[in-house]
Structure 1
Amino acid sequence: MCPGSGLLKGQLRGGFCLYVSGMACDGERGSGLGNRLRGPVRSVWAKHDRDAEGWLPLWRHMEDSAAVAGLLWDRWLPANVRDLISGALPGGERDGRRLAVWLAGMHDIGKATPAFACQVDQLADVMRAQGLEMKTRRQFGPDRRLAPHGLTGQVLLAQWLEEQHGWSGRQSAQFAVVVGGHHGVMPDHGQLKSLDDRPHLLRTPGPSRAVWQRVQGELMDACADEFGVRDRLAVWRAVKLPQPVQVLLSALVIVADWIASNPDLFPYFPQAAHCTGAERVAAAWQGLRLPEPWSAEEPPQDVGELFGTRFDLPPGAVVRPVQAAAVRLARTMSQPGLVVIEAPMGEGKTEAALAVAEVLAARSGAGGVFFALPTMATGNAMFPRLLDWLKRLPTEEGTRLSALLAHSKAALNDAYADLMRKSAQRIAAVAVDEEDRPWRPADDKRAASAELVAHAWLRGRKKAMLSSFVVGTVDQLLFAGLKSRHLALRHLAVAGKVVVIDEAHAYDTYMSAYLDRVLSWLGAYRVPVVVLSATLPAGRRRQLAEAYAGAESTVSAEEFEAVARTDGYPLLTAVPPGGTPVIECPPASARETSVRLERLDDDFGVLADRLATELEGGGCALVVRNTVNRVLETAKVLRERFGDDAVTVAHSRFIDVDRAAKDADLLARFGPPGKSQERPRGPHVVVASQVAEQSLDVDFDLLVTDLCPVDLLLQRMGRLHRHQRGHNQGDRPHRLRTARCLVTGVDWTGPVPVPVRGSVSVYGAYGLLRSAAVLLEHLDGPRRPVRLPQDISPLVQNAYAEEAAVPPGWAEGMDTARQRHEEHRKDQAERAGTFRLDAVGRPGRPLIGWVAAGVGDADDTRAGRAQVRDSKESLEVVVVQRRADGVLATVDWIAPDKAGLELPQDRPPAPGAARAAAACGLRLPVQFSYAEVMDRAIAELEELYVPAWQVKDSYWLAGQLILVLDGDCQTRLAGFSLRYSPCDGLEVTRD
């Protein structure tokens, strides 16, 4: 304790002492919130550590939080976020910073209430001695839970603004709600009414009430003076704060509070009582070392130079017209906004998106990029590409950029794991999940120029998206439209970035309802968004444009209708925030493919015979099935005909490490010329599920596919003759130099095609019949080939048109299928609305009850993903084996250094063994998603509960469901027999 400080007489239990009045200690001389306060107000506490016998006065925590908010504003918050906040205030940037600092300082004012202060007896006794009488925690009873300090803080601030500064209730609420929501949920009207009915929770009745009121007023007055807002309050009274600004301020206050609440960065008293506030904050910020946001420079005007310096292009590669046009459009938009890029498969949309993102970031002040992809597998494939791009960006010396792979199994991704290892060498890399869990500050080693880091503090479950550059599943974006705790943080994360949404056609009505709501908020935040698709229906294009423009847009319905009527392809659509859509139709590249379609009877023997004929002279065929069971049945038949070595299986029912190896193997053997080194010379067939549709740059000589919606069928066709192999495809087997696609999975013999049952369960009958209908001219008569890319847009638009032509004789079957389809879409939309975030409210409307009746926490778990995807909740397990001696071990067929590692049950496994086991995660198929079967399966899996694996040192396996296979890779679960094969994945049969 500093000499000269006024000490309370005696020592409190636990051995720590308090000062509440008299001279300031040496460390408080000069300016500061503490210097403005005397008497009882100094006894009000904010933090207490029972174990370390430390405490923190409220004024100090308020000062810490305000200082952190100022540093976040100056050094961490992207320019576009600062601009949006500042633009709502008459004093611009200066007002924006002052408001953020003041609200961060005020966030815990609700702790200056008896409902909070009574929680620690010895600290409450000190306050009582200063005239702040209060009941004990027991005496308050259950009523105390009606007064969380965020709620009481909102009420106190609103009262102060209204009583001392003449604000109305509506005017004060739009500012005070930021304080009320600093623990992740804005209070609702019911909570405010309950507290209003219990004033004793705010101030103890009787003589002590005046002391409480004086202390609360002194704290708020001191904050207004210390943080420079007193003379601004009269001006701000007339401000109508937009809801997006309220959200961003709330998120900034949350982040500032979390940092200032970390006792390793901001130690408690008495240990910390000797240092000044400035010294304290400087030391904490140096220890935290948050990477600053990306400050994008305007990229080279020459598009060839831009692409040549940013991407690893093959020799002689030229920028494609779509890529050049997209960059030009991004540069000439009236304001950075939404850019939709529709172009054929293999046209370089990913590179175009990153180039456009760089332009839009430079123009808007965005501080990073979020790349949203449909699946974890596509995210894993994208992450190293993003890192390569980041390494090529021009940056100032010493720049540190934070990067993150955002999905639940990111730590198993080699590229991300390598980034974490490198970061850990410079930073104390400790994963932090919750805001109140301590972590050790970083050391002070200086980073190299343009360092990419997976920052420890930004890897927590709630903070991950705050990294500057993020690759993740689209679920992470859709969560921004889900009423959930700490939603404001997700909004801050996306508001400061350029958002790229890949494979936009892949999302059904349920997911699209969330995506459209998120887009409406992104438009309100003026976030640049890039949407990519090869096969986007015109109606969906219009919906995306309207959602981004927002309900308040002045753009006419006719202008949006023009977006839907456009039939050009490739196609670029730009929508400035609130502005008129701009449409451009650049030419396609010179790459063209004509694909001849044929029917093929749905018979495994017929398929085997046809492939034997087609591949007689060698060649590589891709067979795509709509269900995993059909994949496995097909592979069994084809292996009997061609041999085991000539058939490869790929689907989603492999353990993670095998799935990654499958993708790598496919790329190595069937990837682009010059990159694939092992393309089979003899006949080879890959039998795959939908995993072959997305983000795999593979190239086959022949395609066989089950009938599916036409946009997805075109995606599959994008894997056929994807690259030029010799002049006029002369390096392909002679019979396969013409691209051909055989369509099966349908009984073609009746008046109306009948798709196989599995396909109907996946896609619905209507989408399959619409697909068959638009393909008829390519399947019948002269059988005009499908020309890629010319026919992509016409086929997709005709298949999804509201008033589509019906082939003769199909009317009854089509009407029945359409009715079921519309009922299903209506049901999806209604269910999506249950927890979907409301639309952006009018400026000045407070965010009271913003996420009321929400889902609680939302994260990237199987339960979390089920909230934004219309799919049954699935079970995920970690697969291990039981050796002959009874010991559990990692499976024996993976890499030699990871196979067969012992997993002892009496102690935590070695870290390498635990990680190797965790890499063998597997999602069980739909049979285990039905409630009764799932409950039985969980109960059986939980019989293997290993307490030694649940400790902190064994986080790889903690909380996981373990599926144990025997030496023959078999087991039984919930009435099913399970067999796993590294070649075929998981096979499930009913006992």
Structure 2
Amino acid sequence: MSETRPYLHLWGKANKDEFGKLTWHPLVYHMLDVAAVAWIWLEADKQLRRIFTDLFGWNEYSLQTFGLATALHDIGKASLGFQNKIPEIAKEANIQYSGAFNKHFDHGAFGGEWILNRMETEYPNKEGILFNETFQNLWKSSCWHHGSLILNYENYSKDSYNEPKFNPNQGLEISQNRIHYFRSEIIKYVLDAITDYKAEIKTIEKISASDLRFFAGFVSVCDWVGSDSSHFTYCNISLDPKVYFHNAKEKAKEALSEFDLISKIQKPFMRFQELFPEIKTPRPLQKTIESINFTGKPYLLIIEAPTGEGKTESALFAHSKGYNKGFFFGLPTQGSANQISNRVNRFLIHNLKVNQKAILAHGTAWLNREVKEDGKYGSSKNNIENTAESELSEWFFSKKRTLLAPYGVGTIDQAMLAALNVKHGFVKLFGLSGKTLIIDEVHAYDSFMLPIIERLLEWCASLRANVILLSATLPSSMKERLLCAYSTKKLIFQRDKYPLISYIEKDSENLLEHSNIQTRKEEIISIQFATHEKGNISEIANKILESIQNEGNVLWICNTIQKAQQVYSYLKDYKTQTSDTFYLKLFHSRFKFKDRKSIEQEIESLFGPENSNEKRSRPKRGILIATQVAEQSLDIDFDYLVTDIAPIDLLLQRLGRIHRHNRINRASRFSEPSVLILIPASLEEFKSFSSMYYEFTIAKTLAALSETPKIRLPQMYRNFVEEVYSTKIPKKESFKLGEIDLSIQVKDWNNLYDKLEKSQEELDTKGSKGRIPSVKTNIEDILQDTLLSEEDNAYFVAKTRDGDSTLQLIPVHSNENKYLLDDTLQLTEKIPEKLSLQLQKFLAENTISVSSPRSFVRNILKSPTFLANGSTLTKWQNKLNKIGPLKGKYFILLDQDRTISHSFGKNEYHIQYDTEFGLRIQTHQVN
């Protein structure tokens, strides 16, 4: 039996087969597998190569340079610390080292430490690409491939383990010298496989800190793909370096094709009706996009226009006018992302004709995935060195893939995380490169999120990503910051025109603006005002009931779930007492995922747009009670609106839900659009009406509304938004809103503004804290920004997604000592070792997202384990904590009546769930 080649002694991947027998893949082959993915991807993907060319330059040796830097990403595994994770393999290679047994060892960090501090000693010949400073920076960044920038390469072990150094005074009988020998042979094998010794490799002339982040993201994905054992099967046969690398490249072609990572170049559409033949008459907004000359350079496009003017189609058309890798469509909420994903998928299949759907990405989007549950992507219980494999699994089953897929739709937090110091943030940056990032409702993001979006836009420009921002009501102060973030210049722009399209290319100082755009229709909306005491809505409710006595459908939007539930309860009692049959529904965010989805579908089926193929069974009389979930993206139309006061931009969004569609069956009483706005009668009552909004903004909204009995749209959009969101303090101290006289003294105005300014400054500072450095950061400073801690990471993720901390609860009720979920599943003592995909989906579909009351959420997040309150449920909770898609979801145990009470300090919370009201949380003070 021939002796094993030196380069085959070290393992890179290992597993146990179904019989428990250890199998493993040599480190050098795994390194070449990953290099093959990089090589083929760059060779086959013209869009990706264009980005590499822009960032690094390109010459005849570039594939060798990037392939080599990618291959060497795992050089840290050629160490005693890593190899002794499997003692039997280490023993066979005669590199056993007891000091490394059961020690924490970060092979990525050690790889960087070896390059910095050890390579020069071990390699006396300082010539060649390995000692080129620019190449070494690229090589070190490849060592970040498990998600984190490494601040201190010497901290490769938390257990004070020190990797022994090569001793030139001794031979191969000592472990550290033998591992040095194997490492040298592996590097030589990799060089022989990838490089051409007939000529000196010309490496990259210069490299920036931003280039390194991009490359780290690229290598991470190559590592995930190269770790897929279904394509890169384990092999222990000695092969010629170039033969193995050739074979690996053939496997890489298959893997990249299956994972759909190679960009498919779509032909540009120059005319709107080419792309949307079903739209017989494009709207003026869409024709204006058609007139813009997209030169192929990265650009920022801002479309400001009223609801219903075709902004979504305009953005998709703008994207389709150029060559790029795809797009990600980011929205403020999960509900709006779900809604827009249906439209985007129809566009991809019927208009763009790419025959693939967009990946949907947000907290519950994985429920819609179409990946087979065949064990291929599941984490293996037998896997020994499973970091990359488990990351591959997570990538396909979670949100990591979203920005890598050609087309994605999701909550904007998925893109914003690319600009934060979070694990694998640079993978998201890489995923955005060369794509179009579309951000809808951009005005909806607060002072916390704005600095993160600014940093994101700066990086998008550097990575050849186009950005399209959509808004009906974008304040000029916010627009100024967004323009500056992408262009890096302070630009002068029109502040009074509306609708308005603004376009600027990267590195240009020429901002192109298109105004004088006609809108679909002009509306005059009558305003009425009313007020009520806290908790007493009977008078308002009776007035609404009277208005639909014969016909009509009303949308009533409340600012809090508690108030919406109270209004619904009153109207439900009325129906019961009078045997009335009008349609009544409650809709808010505190339903189980499956129940909320069902309600959304029901509402859209009843109140959505009419079309020739399907007649709506619209109720003759009906009331939908909703919260802010009805503001955005739901394409629904009502006759009349009742709404709590809200900031002017959100108020205008709500107005877009009445008289939205042209209908011949509109109730005659509601032939003209009209709204009833519920407002506080005094400054002291602001909190009971709109505690979630800044009081200064609400006060200025009321001041603006007091100036006119009717709202004329779109003429008044711009003036309303600019007036409300300017820092100017009104001089008037009294306002008349219908029959209500509201008084706000000068000192009160000043106090409200001071509170607003202080809060926004704090949020801006917090948002800035977690950002990655500017594109312009020096390489020497790139590691100065610490990765967010797990606690900070969770905080930023929650804030970027929902604007506040959010709790995910799974209600379980007890009945005769049984734990039941949704009456159909019993959680028993025997917990499956691996939860099936069906069971994971079932658990997730029964999850409720809870962000209020805030005191309840804060207390639960501090001590969530009490919710399980039982050994069986506690075991199930521990199981959930280990499963990626279910991590962060908590069981809450209810009694057989689906209720429970919990006390925190002076507050007692009474909790109840049913499919009609959703989750009810009532707070009581206890002595």
TM-score interval, smaller chain? 0.7 to 0.9
User: Which residue in 2 is equivalent to 1:322?
Assistant: 285
User: Which residue in 1 is equivalent to 2:2?
Assistant: 6
User: Which residue in 1 is equivalent to 2:620?
Assistant: 681
1:86–1:95 Cα contact (<8 Å) kept: no
* 2:266 paired residue among 297, 301, 313: 297
CA separation in 2, counterparts of 1:608 and 1:127?
Answer: 81
User: Which residue in 2 is equivalent to 1:424?
Assistant: 372
Letter in 1 for 2:721: V
1:86–1:96 Cα contact (<8 Å) kept: no
Cα gap change, 1:114/1:911 in structure 2, threshold over 3 Å: closer, same or farther? closer
Equivalences for 1:887-966 in 2 at 5 Å? Answer: 887-891=818-822, 900=824, 904-906=828-830, 915-924=841-850, 925-927=852-854, 929=856, 931-935=858-862, 938-943=865-870, 945=873, 947=875, 960-966=889-895
Identity %: 23
CA separation in 2, counterparts of 1:641 and 1:326?
Answer: 51
CA separation in 2, counterparts of 1:466 and 1:490?
Answer: 7
Secondary structure of 1:698's aligned partner: coil
1:113–1:203 Cα contact (<8 Å) kept: no
User: Which residue in 1 is equivalent to 2:365?
Assistant: 410
2:526–2:711 Cα contact (<8 Å) kept: yes
Task: String of CA shifts for 1:530-587, please: whole Å, max 9, x gaps.
Answer: 111111111111111111123xxxx4x3xx1x22x43211111112112132211151
Asked if 1:978 corresponds to 2:925, the answer is no
Cα gap change, 1:162/1:714 in structure 2, threshold over 3 Å: closer, same or farther? farther
User: Which residue in 2 is equivalent to 1:248?
Assistant: 214
Secondary structure of 1:70's aligned partner: helix
Cα gap change, 1:193/1:121 in structure 2, threshold over 3 Å: closer, same or farther? closer
Give 1:758 shift.
3.7
User: Which residue in 2 is equivalent to 1:36?
Assistant: none
User: Which residue in 1 is equivalent to 2:702?
Assistant: 772
2:224–2:389 Cα contact (<8 Å) kept: no
1:339–1:575 Cα contact (<8 Å) kept: yes
2:527–2:676 Cα contact (<8 Å) kept: yes
2:418–2:456 Cα contact (<8 Å) kept: yes
Cα gap change, 1:124/1:616 in structure 2, threshold over 3 Å: closer, same or farther? closer
Give 1:308 shift.
1.8
CA separation in 2, counterparts of 1:876 and 1:88?
Answer: 41
User: Which residue in 1 is equivalent to 2:58?
Assistant: 91
Cα gap change, 1:200/1:687 in structure 2, threshold over 3 Å: closer, same or farther? closer
User: Which residue in 1 is equivalent to 2:600?
Assistant: 663
Cα gap change, 1:153/1:868 in structure 2, threshold over 3 Å: closer, same or farther? farther
Equivalences for 1:43-58 in 2 at 5 Å? Answer: 43-49=9-15, 52-58=21-27
CA separation in 2, counterparts of 1:147 and 1:318?
Answer: 57
* 1:525 paired residue among 463, 466, 472: 463
User: Which residue in 2 is equivalent to 1:573?
Assistant: 502
Q: Which residues of structure 1 form unaligned runs of 5+?
A: 8-18, 21-39, 129-133, 441-453, 893-899
Task: String of CA shifts for 1:814-858, please: whole Å, max 9, x gaps.
Answer: 11001001110111122223322111135x726752653423599
CA separation in 1, counterparts of 2:340 and 2:321?
Answer: 20
User: Which residue in 2 is equivalent to 1:471?
Assistant: 409
User: Which residue in 2 is equivalent to 1:711?
Assistant: 649
CA separation in 1, counterparts of 2:724 and 2:64?
Answer: 55
TM (norm. structure 1) is 0.80
Letter in 2 for 1:424: K
Equivalences for 1:483-632 in 2 at 5 Å? Answer: 483-550=421-488, 555=489, 557=490, 560=491, 562-563=492-493, 565-580=494-509, 581-603=511-533, 604-632=537-565
Cα gap change, 1:83/1:702 in structure 2, threshold over 3 Å: closer, same or farther? same
Secondary structure of 1:509's aligned partner: coil
User: Which residue in 2 is equivalent to 1:372?
Assistant: 330
CA separation in 2, counterparts of 1:261 and 1:464?
Answer: 19
* 1:815 paired residue among 750, 753, 759: 750
2:434–2:466 Cα contact (<8 Å) kept: no
User: Which residue in 1 is equivalent to 2:111?
Assistant: 150
Cα gap change, 1:273/1:266 in structure 2, threshold over 3 Å: closer, same or farther? farther
Letter in 2 for 1:849: L
User: Which residue in 2 is equivalent to 1:723?
Assistant: 661
Give 1:508 shift.
0.5
Asked if 1:738 corresponds to 2:676, the answer is no
Asked if 1:282 corresponds to 2:215, the answer is no
Give 1:794 shift.
1.3
Cα gap change, 1:436/1:647 in structure 2, threshold over 3 Å: closer, same or farther? same
Between 1:82-91 and 1:539-548, the stretch displaced more is 82-91
Q: Which residues of structure 2 form unaligned runs of 5+?
A: 735-743
Give 1:320 shift.
0.9
Cα gap change, 1:592/1:533 in structure 2, threshold over 3 Å: closer, same or farther? same
Task: String of CA shifts for 1:493-531, please: whole Å, max 9, x gaps.
Answer: 111421111111111010112111111111111201111
Task: String of CA shifts for 1:896-931, please: whole Å, max 9, x gaps.
Answer: xxxx45555546599767644531211233255454
Give 1:689 shift.
0.9
CA separation in 2, counterparts of 1:623 and 1:527?
Answer: 40
1:154–1:179 Cα contact (<8 Å) kept: no
Cα gap change, 1:903/1:864 in structure 2, threshold over 3 Å: closer, same or farther? farther
Secondary structure of 1:424's aligned partner: coil
2:108–2:143 Cα contact (<8 Å) kept: no
Cα gap change, 1:786/1:168 in structure 2, threshold over 3 Å: closer, same or farther? farther
1:264–1:439 Cα contact (<8 Å) kept: no
Secondary structure of 1:686's aligned partner: strand
Letter in 1 for 2:148: V
User: Which residue in 2 is equivalent to 1:32?
Assistant: none
CA separation in 2, counterparts of 1:724 and 1:111?
Answer: 66
1:185–1:851 Cα contact (<8 Å) kept: no
User: Which residue in 2 is equivalent to 1:37?
Assistant: none
CA separation in 2, counterparts of 1:43 and 1:907?
Answer: 40
Secondary structure of 2:37's aligned partner: helix
* 1:824 paired residue among 750, 756, 759: 759
CA separation in 2, counterparts of 1:891 and 1:139?
Answer: 49
1:874–1:929 Cα contact (<8 Å) kept: no
CA separation in 1, counterparts of 2:408 and 2:792?
Answer: 18
Cα gap change, 1:887/1:318 in structure 2, threshold over 3 Å: closer, same or farther? farther
User: Which residue in 1 is equivalent to 2:386?
Assistant: 436
Give 1:988 shift.
1.7
User: Which residue in 2 is equivalent to 1:637?
Assistant: 570
User: Which residue in 1 is equivalent to 2:740?
Assistant: none
User: Which residue in 1 is equivalent to 2:49?
Assistant: 82
CA separation in 2, counterparts of 1:144 and 1:477?
Answer: 31
CA separation in 1, counterparts of 2:424 and 2:845?
Answer: 30
CA separation in 2, counterparts of 1:113 and 1:335?
Answer: 46
Give 1:254 shift.
1.9
* 2:301 paired residue among 325, 331, 339: 339
**What number of residue pairs does the alignment pair up?**
878
Give 1:600 shift.
1.2
Cα gap change, 1:218/1:273 in structure 2, threshold over 3 Å: closer, same or farther? closer
